[in-house]
Structures are given as structure tokens and as C-alpha cells.
Amino acid sequence: MNQLKLKKTEWVTEQSISLEFLPKEPIIPLRQNVPLDSNHKILIVIPSFNEEASIGQVIREVKENVPETPILVVNDGSVDRTAQIAEECGARVISLPYNSGYGVALQTGYIYALKHNYSLVVQMDADGQHDPTSIQDLLRAVINSDADVIIGSRFLGQDTYRISIARRIGMFVFGKLASLFCQQRVSDPTSGFQAIKGKAIDLIASDHYPPDYPDADFLIMLNRYGFKTREIPVKMHPSKINKSMHDGSQSIYYVFKMFLSIFVTLLRKKPRI
């Protein structure tokens, strides 16, 4: 495929309510009554691992908000009834034979999307953190702008999202790094609520994608590869079961991996996708 052209990135940001350290920027209205472009083949990708308590509700709410849009649940080696519940709720399910991690499950959804010629993918979590009412906002933003990736930020909207001090520090540091290297403000570098279209799907389905924790390093990678990214406010709820893939002993590896990944991403040549 052709080498991706370097493009100028463009971000739309809004005033932060919950994070005081972020600089204040003008609010740009995002809720517009723009009809969704029917030319796009849209897929909702939901990676899930042992989410039997929430997956059914998430799928039902997604169907209410974006009816007729296929939902793909990537069951990441769950040992509970996640896959059965997702199938019963009408989602297509891809079951990985063992737990491979969030990034691998997510990438599987993108490989599927690429294989079946989906031109637009919305990714969201299965634990109910990401409010499906924001999917329409993500879709409108990605369809009606020249951005390749729309990131749903929990810190740009009206809701105040509570996180621990450790995570807040981590998000601050990696948000600043992402902002520095992307040359635009990144308020939520760990958000997994995104809408992605076009060649960016090819990038995620390729070997260039960081499969461990695709966060700030992925945003920097997108920027270096010439993709346009943009943040919009979305509704997010704190996880009911209060677990995170960035907590516990994993957090030490996460910090190490993220610094290393950002460093080597900056050293790498721009690849051919």
C-alpha cells in the first residue's frame, strides 16, 4: 500500500471540569443534528474478559442507540458466561482460546473489520464505563470531520470522573507527553472509547500496533504516521467492579512499557501501512 502522507493534526478540546492541571481552551459545540452518513459500513467492537455482569446491558444499550449496527464482542478467553450472554443479546462473538490481553482482543476486532471491509469502527469497553449514548456523538464527529480517529474524553464533558491519585498522576504525565509529541492537547490518553475510520483501521490491524496497552504511545504513533486525531467529550461512568488493567503490579509494568514504547516510537521511521 502507499506510504501514508504526513498530515497536520487537529484537535478540538473543551474546558476541563475535573482536571485542573489541564489548560483551559475554548469550548466547541459537538452535538449537532447531522445525519449519519449511510455510506460507511460501521462496526462496534467490544473487547471483553469475564464481563458477564455487564455485557448484556451494554449490548442492549448499544442497540438502542445505534440500531441495525453490527456489534462484535471479542471474548478474550473469559471463563464465565460472557460469550453466551453476548450471543443471546444478538452480538457476533469471536472467542480467543485464552486470555491475551486488552490490546490483542481489540486488535482482533480490527482485523475482523478490515477483513470484512468495515470502513468505520467504534471501540468501547464491556464493563459499562462507556456510555452508549455517546456513540452517536463519536460517529457524527468521525463522519463529519477529516479526523481519522475520534477519542472520547471523560474530562471534556459535564461529568466529573473520579480516579485515584496514582492514576491521575499517570494520566497527567502521559497526557503531557502525548500533548507534547502530538503538538496538541490530550486530556484523556487512556480512553478506549474511540471511533476510527479509513486507513487508521489498517494501522491498528497491522504489526505496528502496540498490543499491550495502546494508550499514549498509540496516540503519538498515530500522529507520527500522519493521522488526524480529535477529542470530543463523552459520558463515562466509574467501573462498577472497580478494576482496571492499570492497577496493582501491572501499573509498574505499564509505566515502564509506556515510557519505552513512546521513546522507541519516536526513534522509529515512519512505516508503510
Partner 1 sequence: MPPRIRIIAILICIFLVAYVFELVRRRHLNEEYSMGWLVAGSMMLMLSISEGLLVSISNLVGATLFTSTLFFFGLVFLVTICLHFSIRISSLTNQVRTLTQHMGILHSEKQSLEEQVQLNSLGQNPSKLEKL
Report how many residues bind partner 1 under the rule CB under 8 A. Answer: 19
Question: What type of residue is 144?
Answer: N
Structure-derived torsion over alpha carbons of residues 252, 257, 260, 263, reported in degrees to the nearest 10: -120
- Residue 32 makes contact with partner 1 by CB under 8 A: no
Single out the residue of 17, 94, 245, 255 in contact with partner 1 (rule: CB under 8 A): 94
Beta bridge pairs of residue 94: 74
- Residue 116 makes contact with partner 1 by CB under 8 A: yes
CB of 245 to partner 1, least distance (A): 17
SS3 113: helix
Q: Which alpha helices (H) appear in 116-247, and where do they start and end?
A: 135-143, 165-182, 199-205, 216-224
Single out the residue of 17, 36, 96, 173 in contact with partner 1 (rule: CB under 8 A): 96
CB of 99 to partner 1, least distance (A): 10
- Residue 226 makes contact with partner 1 by CB under 8 A: no
C-beta closer to partner 1: residue 35 or 97: 97
Single out the residue of 8, 24, 60, 92 in contact with partner 1 (rule: CB under 8 A): 92
- Residue 91 makes contact with partner 1 by CB under 8 A: no
Q: Tell me the helices (H) and strands (E) count for the chain, helix number first.
A: 8, 7
Name, in order, each residue with C-beta under 8 angstroms of 140's C-beta and a sequence gap of 6 or more: 30, 32, 34, 36
C-beta closer to partner 1: residue 101 or 226: 101
Length of the chain equals: 273
- Residue 60 makes contact with partner 1 by CB under 8 A: no
Tell the burial category of 271 from Cβ atoms under 10 Å away from its Cβ (0-12, 13-18, 19+). middle
CB of 169 to partner 1, least distance (A): 30
Name, in order, each residue with C-beta under 8 angstroms of 77's C-beta and a sequence gap of 6 or more: 49, 95, 96, 97, 98, 99, 100
- Residue 8 makes contact with partner 1 by CB under 8 A: no
- Residue 67 makes contact with partner 1 by CB under 8 A: no
The residue ranges that bind partner 1 (CB under 8 A) are 70, 74, 92-98, 100, 104, 107-108, 111-112, 115-116, 207, 211
